[in-house]
Amino acid sequence: MKVVIIGGVAGGATAAARLRRLDEGAEIVVFERSGYISYANCGLPYYIGGAIEDPEELTLQTPESFYARFRVEMKVRHEVTAIHPERKTVSVKNLETGAEFEESYDKLILSPGAKPTRPPIPGIDLERIFTLRTVEDTFRLKAYLDVNRPKSAVLVGGGFIGLELAENLRELGLEVTIVEQLNQLMSPFDPDMAAFLHNEARRHGVKLALGRAVAGFEEREGGVDVQLKDGSSLHTDLVALAIGVTPDTALAKEAGLELGLRGSIVVNDRMETSLPDIYAVGDAVQVKHGVTGQDTLIALAGPANKQGRIAADNICGGDSRYSGSQGSSVIKVFDMTGAATGLNEAAARRAGLDVDTVVLSPMSHAGYYPGGKVMTMKVVFEKGTYRLLGAQIVGYEGVDKRIDVLATALRAGLTALQLKDLDLAYAPPYSSAKDPVNMAGFLVDNLARGLVRQFHLEELAALPRDGSVTLLDVRTPQEYAQGRVEGFRNIPVDELRDRLGELEAGKPVYVICQSGLRSYIACRILAERGFECRNFSGGFRFYDAVANDRRLIESATACGMDR
């Protein structure tokens, strides 16, 4: 059996290695148009900033090491220019010599990946405009930085690459501005959770131009003018495009394969395409979302690796199935960590689901053990069924392990209620006896039992201030003096039982505290005494972070730049 693989990196290289482990006699040939067969895409921004110093650390395998270990022919700088399904061959061009030839196959795996999105706008091909997708892209940008010593950069796009590159360029001392068409960075997060990432970026000197779209680029005064659609412009020494990626599927289209979302390759759960003996994996394929079952595109290394393994299994006579992607991801944003899995609230609503959320601010480990830091968690679930739909966490230490627990729970089909029952490891330096994930489950359980009702951030402004309801802040007077929500009066929770006479019977009470815990206790006190009470989800800490972020975005829109 002869297997030809188009493209290396995560999907193609994984498939090649798995094929060899399953079939020692198979002939395996990989064609990769770049000069690198297996490299760490996710590490590229950290080489730019110097966290990874040796460029060889980016290369996971060389053609020579791969052949020595697996006896797989890795032909770099070879571009497949056409697929001929009717005669089971591919046309190949050697990019170094210009020679062209055909290669036959019994089975073909497509792993072409995705290419940086480059919108057709004026000036998109200027020399000072960079992308960061391949090792060659990285070396080109690094060489420009080393030789020209630019002072400023504009990054177009606020996703993973944009934020990671922003951090690393700031480490080099550049003035950095991120231009993002959406009103937030990092679309896997809801805007309220993204507010914490915005604050961290600003705290480290990154300027944010959110809700802005780029109209074009123009060379001027030894740099680039980034022209925005609102008529303003930004002058900078260099531009990096990080708008996103587009499936690289021209070959598949020309070969007659069925295509799906944004030109991606349609595959079944065995990673088989619409044509016999042709498989496809990685960023170029359309997959099913693990929560909604709807078609989606998820360009992450984890899914690509799994898909490569599955394609190899099935080529070798197995019956492996891909069960979908839920988009679990994590990102370092300067000192902070952001992580998400499944659907955020906005995506769940777009999918037509009736959802609710809980927001909490637990410590990363036991509060009495030194060094603990607060994280913010948002768990999304379906009303009525309490089906777990997704989660987002921003914070410092411990964020990654909590999102992995939640991702596992989501994959296992647990409900949000069952989070309270998870038996998780505890020692003071690592967690609390009631782990943050358990705490999220306790909150949902209280809602399910009717022990508390809650109200959310988007409802806050619409609450009547005419005295028809009681708005109550149960923090300490010192906390209240440092910042409060308009219209809320202060009665500390520890004084509430003795001051119930100050509250008018029969009026609904809306309660807020710093994180949601004291206001929950206050709601239980009030409910036991016949008051109808609602607890503010997330607390004043959450409200304050989001409200400040929204004010900055609105101010920047009016004045032309985030400050």
Q: Is 215 exposed, middle or buried (0-12, 13-18, 19+ CB in 10 A)?
A: middle
Q: Is 48 exposed, middle or buried (0-12, 13-18, 19+ CB in 10 A)?
A: buried
- Amino acid occupying residue 458: E
Count other C-beta atoms under 10 Å from residue 106's C-beta: 13
Contact 510, 486 (CB under 8 A): no
Out of 42, 513, 523, 533, the active site residue is: 42
Structure tokens at 62: 């060389």
- Residue closest to 240 by CA, chosen among 170, 136, 166: 166
Count other C-beta atoms under 10 Å from residue 163's C-beta: 27
Helical spans, DSSP H, in 272-352:
301-315, 345-350
Contact 508, 534 (CB under 8 A): yes
Helical spans, DSSP H, in 449-509:
457-460, 477-482
Residues 6+ apart with CB under 8 A from 169: 48, 49, 153, 155, 176
Residue with tokens 């220019």: 81
Q: Is 433 exposed, middle or buried (0-12, 13-18, 19+ CB in 10 A)?
A: exposed
- The CA radius of gyration of the chain, in Å to the nearest whole number, is 27
Contact 58, 135 (CB under 8 A): yes
Q: How many CA atoms lie within 13 A of 426 on its CB side?
A: 12
Structure tokens at 344: 């955020």
Contact 380, 410 (CB under 8 A): no
- Rounded Cα distance, 362 and 308, in Å: 38
Residue 42 annotated in active site: yes
Structure tokens at 317: 């006579």
Contact 401, 436 (CB under 8 A): no
Count other C-beta atoms under 10 Å from residue 25's C-beta: 6
Q: Which residues are catalytic?
A: 42
